[in-house]
Amino acid sequence: MTFVPGTRQQFERRMSQRGTTLEAVRECIVGDYGDTIVVDVDHPAYPHATKPAPPARREWPLAARSLKRFRSEADKGVGDTLARVFNKLPVYKSMGAGDAFKVFMARIGVDCKCESRQAKLNSLYPYD
């Protein structure tokens, strides 16, 4: 069980965004203290937010649509294609797998977050 405290107004707004009312999920409320309530968000009746569907390909930004032309069978989305294309550029090819950027970022003490950025692009602009 995961208990989340909040104001009644916060939960009413959240339930409205999810297409229900606070009264309809009354069984999820484990504590009611006037303006503050505590909700069990792991309760089966608690309505979780749904992940929005990725935009249709015709609505992708021009850069994402352009990268799709370079897609390979193994690419899950635009993030994979972008990583593969960067690895073929001469400046990166000499070091392999975009390591030049990663090495530079490591030297200044910053995580490049390449893998998380690639995964994010794949989820925003998937090929399937």
Question: Quick one: pLDDT at residue 109?
Answer: 83
Q: CA–CA separation, 115 vs 122, rounded Å?
A: 11
> Between the CA of residue 96 and those of 40, 72, 93, 115, what are the distances in Å?
49, 19, 5, 15
For residue 88, what pLDDT is reported?
Answer: 75
Domain shared by 62 and 119, yes or no: yes
Considering the domain boundaries, does residue 19 fall inside one?
Answer: yes
57-71 pLDDT, tens per residue? 889 999 889 888 899
Considering the domain architecture, whether residues 61 and 114 belong to the same structural domain is answered as yes
At residue 28, the pLDDT reads 92
Q: Quick one: which H or E segment has residue 37?
A: strand 36-40
* pLDDT 10s digits, 14-31: 888 888 998 888 999 999
pLDDT at residue 100 tops 70: no
Full residue range of the structural domain in which residue 61 is found: 57-124
Domain shared by 63 and 120, yes or no: yes
> What whole-number percentage of the chain has pLDDT above 70?
90
pLDDT for position 98: 55
Number of domains making up the chain: 2
Joined together, the tokens standing for residue 18 give 């999810």
Q: Is the pLDDT of residue 104 over 80?
A: no
70 and 103 belong to one structural domain: yes
Could you tell me if 76 and 31 lie in one domain? no
Residue 7 in any domain: the answer is: yes
Cα separation, 75 vs 123, whole angstroms: 12
